[in-house]
């Protein structure tokens, strides 16, 4: 699904060239739930940016769902992002002007679905995250956990091939965090491919396997599969 | 104040600063020229005629047809008018002040002169003329009744036996010496006229640009103007004008109905009418300038508020590091001042070039140097005033912001 | 997608009311000011007779000695041509009969004595012209018809009156055959013209060009024989004999002369005839300078005479500069607004919006602002025109009309200008990197 080989990303300022990622390789297969961990400054955020086609990379190769990503123009990258990837941000990043269902609607608009199709998908994803009753509420009226679940619904609505989550529970208290993670595990069980970036080892444990980055390179490649723990109730 | 970091921070936000700067520049250019034009028009519309405007009115009198006893009818009319209560004096003439209609021609000093010495307006008046207009004699005398001849219509070339000229014309034709006793020569009548009197001021009847150069050059010739279409000028006692107008109209129709009396107009009304376009232009320009200042001010407020919002964290950090509220306010004021100063320089250049263009295209006057300078000061103050509110808002940003993620 | 962006735009504008109001106000005021002045400018310079303006020509001839520099005011025009012509030349031109239609004319007036003795006499502005005047200038008739060429020759006491005069004297009924008394002389009414008010009065720009049209028309030769004085401009140079005849046969210019020349060939022919005449005058010693004549069609004539006043020109320049400031202002405010929502834009980009989508979204928002600003501008234009009428003399603003086409133009200009002003902010918005940059904020 997601395959990076000898990827490197260099940031050039006027004086200095720093490598955020150096000779970085990772292979996430379809249906895997992978946690990407590492200390701050390790490059895991850069990795997620590149994985999500939000940034370009300097060297190496990146294949997303079989397609080589190098050399795509902005329009092509946008379309790929729209069709293949579902984002879940730490800060939720819902659009405050829009209510819940309009927020979920956003990527669908850029997809070009017609009205009926969009409505169906919105209904389905909201039901999936258990927020159908809140369709017309505004983000300001929801708790942190609920907002993150709306974000997840938004990520799911377009039937993406890959879910990219950046510290998905970073802004939530323990109980809400548990609920969100339970949802992610549920999605994984239903067949989703999830790559989750986190600095919290407690969170990393919940994933299937862990990839550890330090100074832009993969270090521990723990290949043993972990047991998936039982789901708990939604918050 | 640390100018360099402010400058470099601003340069990173080039476009916003540019927008404000250019707006201020254009505002300055428009303000300068607009206010200058307003001043010019106000000056223009306040030019004194030399007459006692508040107490003088004009009756345009048109006889039906061309009756043979015009002269007699006119004398009857004038006698009747002069006898009315509240009337100081009255006379008949070919044109009146502020009417934009009249007779003008060149005047010469000798008969063999090729080019005229001055362009002037010609007024016909009998010995009641000066009193009926309230003109002030500063040298010489009024006409004697035996000097006053008949001038029949506009094509009569009867030579004038004397002339009273304005002080300005006297200065122009006979600089440094007295005009009394000197003579003028007019070509159509082929006639040398001795000057017997000088009045302080008598404006030409036109108020437009074409007569500006000879605005104060007028000649009064001693004629009874006998024409089917003539103007009766009546001078009233102070405060009596409205009453006299009514009684005059009534009296004239009683005397003879075979005439048309067009709208009777006082000289104050004539002034309002004559300068209506100038006043209108001044008002419109005033409104536009005021709107311009408002638009620019609000624009500065809007854009600066956005900058403040953009730099919230940075401002919080500064405060955490020890900057005072005043320091923050001064930061934005300095920033605005730099932009305004650049804008003012550009604006002065724009104002001057715009003015030069208008001078060549519209025959306007050149901008007085005080205008761009005052304009620059105004624009700088405007910027400082406009930036005050967003700057104060910036100053109220809590230093605690620095600790938020 | 358009509806989607429209919805987003409206929502976004509602969210920050103050900023929205400022932007719409800025654009509205700018559009209002410039549209007002543009309307007046167009009204003043409008083609007053569009279907014939290319076929009607004003004739000029130099009958005064060329002046070098010279002191004092009137008479020194750069091309040595006067705006009016003398009687001698007017009659000569009439006799040339070199045009399809032609008329010499001048402005005069008379006092009309009503047949009802209880009513007072009143003034009637009159035009002395030849019969060709009416078909030449496409003057519409309500009753009757123009007089004939025979009337011109015979100096008949006939008159064509205007509708307003007919209403006043004959209560609007058909007066053909009846008489009116002008300055003690009876004139037989042969026709009544319908409302005809060319703005400006192009056929006589020297005398009250924005004033009302004449109320009566009499044959030229009749007016001259009755010595009806000119109520218009009169300029003299050189020797003038005494009395009416002296004035008539001098080089004083107080007549207008117009010809109708349907084709370019006709115009060429007329120019040739005109120049031959001027050359003839030089040969005979009347003129001491080479032939100098000119034909101007209606639009050229309006231009030549600087019909649009300087006041109006200045105001047009000022108001469009004002509009420029307003647009710059709007650009700044749009920049602030759009960049203030950089976060939302980043999210949308992350969710799959390409730059084009962001472009469309922002430009449509600009268009909405432009549309609202245009409507406000229209309202302000109406206000401005009303205000103008009271401020400027009636003549200047008499027919500043505002048609449906002008409404469309004003709104279109507003929308296009706002979109142009929004191009830079939109471009900046499209440069916003997809979501991850938000973290640094």
Confidence of residue B404 (pLDDT cuts 50, 70, 90): low
Q: Which residues of B touch C424 (CB under 8 A)?
A: 15
Q: Which residues of B touch C243 (CB under 8 A)?
A: 155-156
Percent of chain C residues past pLDDT 70, beyond the cut: 94
Six-digit token pair at B80?
């009747």
Same domain, B252 and B281: no
Q: How far is B214 from chain C (nearest CA, A)?
A: 8
Type and span of the H or E element at A63? strand A59-64
pLDDT digits (tens, 9 = 90+) for C287-337: 999 999 999 999 999 988 888 878 888 888 999 999 999 999 999 899 888
Section C381-389 average pLDDT: 82
- Tell me the three state secondary structure of residue A199: coil
Domain boundary among B191, B226, B257: B257
pLDDT higher than threshold 80 for residue C391: no
Pick from C57, C29, C34, C86: nearest CA to C266: C57
Section C39-61 average pLDDT: 88
**Is residue A171 within 8 angstroms of chain C, CB to CB?**
no
- The answer as to whether B392 is a domain residue is yes
Would you say A38 and A214 are in contact if contact means Cβ atoms under 8 Å apart? yes
Same domain, B24 and B139: no
pLDDT higher than threshold 50 for residue A233: no
Write down the pLDDT at residue C174. 94
Q: Which of A81, A83, A111 sits opposite C350 (nearest CB)?
A: A81
User: Can you say whether residue C310 is alpha, beta or left, with left for phi > 0 and alpha for psi between -120 and 50 degrees?
Assistant: alpha
Chain C residue nearest residue A112, CA to CA:
C1
Chain B residue nearest residue C229, CA to CA:
B154
Same domain, B105 and B245: yes
Q: How far is B92 from chain C (nearest CA, A)?
A: 18
Confidence of residue B2 (pLDDT cuts 50, 70, 90): low
pLDDT higher than threshold 50 for residue A230: no
Q: How far is A47 from chain C (nearest CA, A)?
A: 11
Candidates C316, C318, C319, C326: best to mutate against B (most CBs of B within 10 A) is C318
Q: Is the dihedral of CA A214, A215, A216, A218 positive or negative?
A: negative
Are residues B362 and C29, on separate chains, in Cβ contact within 8 Å? Answer: no
- The answer as to whether B264 is a domain residue is no
Same domain, B74 and B10: no
Same domain, B253 and B334: no
Same domain, B90 and B146: yes
pLDDT digits (tens, 9 = 90+) for A34-90: 998 888 777 888 888 888 888 888 888 898 888 888 888 888 888 888 888 888 888
Pick from B338, B333, B313, B327: nearest CA to B399: B313
Write down the pLDDT at residue C401. 67
**Is residue B66 within 8 angstroms of chain C, CB to CB?**
yes
Pick from B211, B206, B189: nearest CA to C74: B211
Section A135-156 average pLDDT: 91
Strands A85-88 and A33-37: unpaired
Q: Which residues of A touch C16 (CB under 8 A)?
A: none
C-alpha neighbours within 13 Å on the C-beta side of residue C337:
28
**Is residue B249 within 8 angstroms of chain C, CB to CB?**
no
Distance CA B37, CA B79 (A): 46
- The answer as to whether B180 is a domain residue is yes
Pick from B93, B190, B229: nearest CA to C242: B190
- The answer as to whether B268 is a domain residue is no
Q: Check if the interface score ipTM surpasses 0.90.
A: no
Strand order in the sheet with A2-12: A17-28, A2-12, A59-64, A67-68
Burial (CB < 10 A; 0-12, 13-18, 19+), residue A135, is middle
Least confident of B115-119, B385-389, C193-197, C435-439: C435-439
Are residues B66 and C122, on separate chains, in Cβ contact within 8 Å? Answer: no
Same domain, B149 and B83: yes
pLDDT higher than threshold 50 for residue C70: no
Q: Which of C351, C355, C433 sits opposite A82 (nearest CB)?
A: C351
- Tell me the three state secondary structure of residue A218: strand
For chain C, the average pLDDT equals 88
For chain B, the average pLDDT equals 90
Confidence of residue C439 (pLDDT cuts 50, 70, 90): low
pTM of the model: 0.82
Backbone angles phi, psi at B66, to 5 degrees: -125, 75
Q: How far is C247 from chain B (nearest CA, A)?
A: 6
B33 contact partners, CB below 8 Å, separation of at least 6: B351, B354, B355, B358, B367, B371, C318
- Tell me the three state secondary structure of residue B18: helix
Same domain, B253 and B323: no
Q: What is the CA radius of gyration of chain A?
A: 18
Burial (CB < 10 A; 0-12, 13-18, 19+), residue B383, is buried
pLDDT digits (tens, 9 = 90+) for B329-343: 888 899 899 999 999
Are residues C438 and A93, on separate chains, in Cβ contact within 8 Å? Answer: yes
For chain C, the domains span: 2-45+309-440, 56-67+77-304
Six-digit token pair at B218?
């007028």
Same domain, B308 and B356: yes
Q: Which of residues 23-82 of A touch C (CB under 8 A)?
A: 45, 48-49, 52, 54-55, 74-75, 78-79, 81-82
Distance CA C295, CA A99 (A): 72
- The answer as to whether B266 is a domain residue is no
Pick from C132, C121, C403: nearest CA to B253: C121
Six-digit token pair at A5?
């080989």
Q: Which residues of A touch C343 (CB under 8 A)?
A: 93
Write down the pLDDT at residue B189. 82
Distance CA C441, CA C428 (A): 17
pLDDT higher than threshold 90 for residue B400: no
Would you say B24 and B296 are in contact if contact means Cβ atoms under 8 Å apart? yes
C-alpha neighbours within 13 Å on the C-beta side of residue B100:
15
What is the full DSSP assignment across A140-177? GGS-HHHHHHHHHHHHHHT--SEEEEESTTTTS-HHHH
Same domain, B214 and B298: no
**Is residue C356 within 8 angstroms of chain A, CB to CB?**
yes
Section A179-205 average pLDDT: 87
Same domain, B103 and B193: yes
Chain A residue nearest residue C14, CA to CA:
A97
Would you say A80 and A224 are in contact if contact means Cβ atoms under 8 Å apart? no
Q: Which of A199-208, B372-381, C308-317, C337-346 has the highest mean pLDDT?
A: B372-381
Would you say B296 and B384 are in contact if contact means Cβ atoms under 8 Å apart? no
Candidates A54, A98, A104: best to mutate against C (most CBs of C within 10 A) is A54
Distance CA C441, CA C75 (A): 74
Query: Residue B173 to residues B162, B184, B221, C72, C81: CA-CA distances in angstroms?
Result: 16, 9, 17, 12, 30
Residue matched to tokens 């720009």: C205
pLDDT digits (tens, 9 = 90+) for B297-332: 998 888 888 888 878 877 887 777 777 888 888 888
Q: Which of A83, A93, A98 sits opposite C435 (nearest CB)?
A: A93
**Is residue B317 within 8 angstroms of chain C, CB to CB?**
no
Q: Which residues of C touch B280 (CB under 8 A)?
A: 311, 388, 391-393
Six-digit token pair at C147?
């007089």
Backbone angles phi, psi at C176, to 5 degrees: -60, 130
pLDDT higher than threshold 70 for residue B402: no
Distance CA C37, CA C312 (A): 7
Would you say B228 and B63 are in contact if contact means Cβ atoms under 8 Å apart? yes
Six-digit token pair at A130?
């258990």
Section C34-61 average pLDDT: 88
Percent of chain B residues past pLDDT 90, beyond the cut: 60
pLDDT higher than threshold 60 for residue B152: yes
Distance CA C408, CA C411 (A): 5
Q: How many CB atoms lie within 10 A of CB B2?
A: 8
- The answer as to whether B305 is a domain residue is yes
Tally of domains in chain B: 2
- The answer as to whether B197 is a domain residue is yes
Type and span of the H or E element at C318? helix C310-340
Candidates B14, B15, B19: best to mutate against C (most CBs of C within 10 A) is B19
Give the range of the structural domain holding residue B372, as residue numbers without chain letter: 4-46+277-403
Same domain, B310 and B193: no
Strands (DSSP E) contained in C212-318 are 216-219, 256-260, 293-297
User: Please, which residues bridge with residue B340 across strands?
Assistant: none
Strands B56-63 and B259-261: antiparallel
**CB crowding C182-217: b at 16 or more within 10 Å, else e:** bbbbebbbbbbbeebebbbbbbbbbbbbbbebbbbb
Pick from B393, B376, B379, B382: nearest CA to B332: B393
Distance CA B155, CA A192 (A): 109
Q: Is the dihedral of CA B73, B78, B81, B82 positive or negative?
A: negative
């Amino acid at each position: 699904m997601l395959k990076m080989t000898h990827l490197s990303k260099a940031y050039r300022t006027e004086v200095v060239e720093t490598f955020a990622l150096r000779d970085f390789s990772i292979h996430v297969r379809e249906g895997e739930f992978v946690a990407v961990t590492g200390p701050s400054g390790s490059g895991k955020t850069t990795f997620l940016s590149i994985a999500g086609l939000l940034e370009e990379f300097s060297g190496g190769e990146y294949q997303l769902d079989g397609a080589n990503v190098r050399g795509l123009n902005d329009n092509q990258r946008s379309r790929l992002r729209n069709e293949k990837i579902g984002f879940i941000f730490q800060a939720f990043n819902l659009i405050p002007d829009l209510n819940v269902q309009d927020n979920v609607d956003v990527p669908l608009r850029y997809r070009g679905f017609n009205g009926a199709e969009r409505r169906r998908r919105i209904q389905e994803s909201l039901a999936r995250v258990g927020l159908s009753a809140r369709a017309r509420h505004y983000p300001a009226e929801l708790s942190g956990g609920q907002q993150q679940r709306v974000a997840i619904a938004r990520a799911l609505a377009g039937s993406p091939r890959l879910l990219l989550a950046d510290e998905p529970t970073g802004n939530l208290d323990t109980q809400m965090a548990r609920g969100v993670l339970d949802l992610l595990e549920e999605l994984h069980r239903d067949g989703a491919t999830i790559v989750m970036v986190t600095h919290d080892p407690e969170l990393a444990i919940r994933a299937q396997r862990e990839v550890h980055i330090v100074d832009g390179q993969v270090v521990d490649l723990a290949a043993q599969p972990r047991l998936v723990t039982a789901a708990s109730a939604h918050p | 104040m640390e100018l360099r970091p402010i400058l470099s921070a601003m340069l990173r936000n080039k476009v916003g600063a540019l927008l404000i700067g250019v707006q201020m520049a254009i505002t300055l250019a428009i303000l300068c020229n607009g206010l200058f034009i307003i001043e010019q028009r106000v000056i223009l519309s306040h030019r004194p005629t030399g007459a006692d405007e508040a107490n003088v009115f004009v009756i345009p009198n048109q006889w039906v047809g061309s009756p043979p006893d015009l002269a007699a009818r006119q004398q009857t009319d004038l006698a009747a008018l002069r006898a009315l209560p509240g009337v100081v004096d009255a006379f008949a003439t070919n044109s009146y002040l502020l009417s934009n209609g009249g007779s003008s021609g060149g005047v010469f000093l000798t008969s063999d002169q090729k080019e005229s010495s001055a362009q002037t307006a010609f007024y016909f008046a009998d010995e009641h003329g000066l009193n009926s207009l309230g003109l002030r004699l500063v040298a010489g005398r009024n006409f004697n009744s035996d000097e006053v001849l008949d001038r029949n219509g506009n094509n009569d070339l009867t030579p004038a036996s004397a002339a009273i000229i304005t002080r300005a014309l006297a200065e122009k034709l006979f600089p440094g010496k007295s005009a009394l006793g000197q003579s003028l020569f007019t070509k159509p009548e082929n006639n040398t006229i001795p000057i017997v009197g000088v009045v302080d001021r008598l404006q030409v009847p036109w108020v437009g640009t074409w007569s500006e150069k000879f605005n104060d050059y007028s000649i009064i010739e001693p004629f009874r103007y006998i024409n089917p279409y003539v103007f009766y000028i009546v001078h009233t006692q102070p405060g009596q004008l409205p009453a006299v107008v009514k009684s005059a109209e009534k009296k004239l129709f009683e005397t003879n109905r075979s005439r048309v009396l067009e709208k009777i107009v006082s000289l104050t009304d004539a002034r309002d009418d004559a300068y209506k376009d100038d006043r209108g232009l001044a008002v419109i320009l005033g409104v536009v300038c005021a709107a311009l200042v408002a638009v620019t001010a609000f624009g500065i407020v809007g854009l600066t508020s956005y900058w403040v919002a953009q730099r919230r964290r940075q401002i919080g950090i500064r405060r955490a590091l020890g900057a005072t509220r005043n320091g923050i306010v001064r930061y934005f004021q300095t920033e605005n001042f730099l932009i305004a100063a650049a804008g003012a320089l550009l604006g002065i250049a724009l104002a001057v070039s715009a003015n030069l263009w208008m001078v060549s295209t519209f025959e306007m006057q050149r901008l007085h140097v005080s205008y761009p300078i005052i304009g620059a000061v105004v624009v700088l103050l405007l910027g400082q005033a406009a930036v005050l509110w967003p700057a104060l808002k910036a100053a109220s940003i809590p230093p605690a912001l620095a600790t938020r993620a | 997608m358009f509806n989607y962006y429209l919805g987003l735009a409206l929502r976004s504008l509602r969210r920050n009311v103050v900023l929205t109001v400022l932007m719409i106000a800025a654009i509205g005021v700018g559009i209002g000011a410039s549209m007002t002045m543009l309307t007046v400018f167009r009204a003043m310079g409008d083609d007053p007779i569009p279907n014939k303006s290319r076929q009607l020509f004003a004739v000029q001839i130099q009958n005064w000695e060329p002046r070098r520099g010279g002191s004092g005011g009137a008479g020194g025009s750069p091309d040595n041509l006067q705006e009016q012509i003398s009687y001698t030349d007017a009659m000569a031109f009439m006799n040339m009969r070199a045009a399809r239609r032609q008329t010499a004319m001048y402005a005069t007036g008379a006092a009309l004595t009503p047949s009802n003795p209880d009513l007072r006499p009143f003034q009637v502005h009159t035009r002395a012209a030849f019969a060709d005047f009416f078909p030449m200038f496409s003057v519409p008739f309500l009753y009757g018809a123009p007089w004939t060429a025979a009337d011109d020759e015979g100096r008949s006491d006939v008159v064509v009156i205007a509708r307003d005069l007919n209403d006043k004297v004959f209560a609007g009924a058909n007066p053909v055959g009846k008489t009116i008394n002008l300055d003690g002389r009876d004139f037989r009414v042969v026709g009544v013209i319908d409302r005809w008010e060319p703005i400006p009065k192009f056929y006589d720009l020297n005398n009250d060009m924005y004033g009302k049209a004449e109320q009566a028309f009499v044959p030229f030769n009749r007016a001259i024989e009755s010595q009806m004085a000119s109520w218009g401009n009169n300029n003299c140079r050189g020797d003038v004999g005494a009395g009416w005849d002296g004035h008539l046969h001098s080089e004083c210019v107080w007549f207008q002369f117009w010809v109708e020349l349907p084709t370019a060939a006709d115009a060429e022919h007329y120019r040739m005839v005109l120049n031959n005449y001027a050359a003839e005058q030089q040969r005979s010693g009347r003129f001491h300078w080479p032939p100098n004549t000119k034909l101007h069609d209606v639009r050229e004539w309006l231009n030549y005479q600087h019909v649009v006043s300087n006041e109006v020109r200045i105001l047009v320049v000022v108001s469009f500069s004002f509009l420029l400031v307003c647009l710059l202002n709007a650009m700044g405010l749009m920049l602030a607004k759009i960049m203030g929502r950089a976060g939302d834009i980043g999210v949308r980009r992350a969710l799959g919006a390409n730059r084009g989508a962001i472009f469309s979204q922002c430009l449509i928002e600009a268009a909405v602002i432009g549309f609202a600003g245009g409507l406000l501008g229209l309202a302000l234009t109406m206000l401005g025109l009303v205000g103008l009428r009271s401020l400027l003399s009636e003549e200047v603003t008499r027919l500043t009309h505002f048609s449906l086409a002008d409404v469309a133009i004003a709104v279109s200009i507003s929308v296009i200008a706002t979109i142009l002003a929004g191009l830079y902010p939109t471009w900046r918005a499209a440069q916003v990197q997809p979501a991850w940059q938000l973290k640094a904020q």
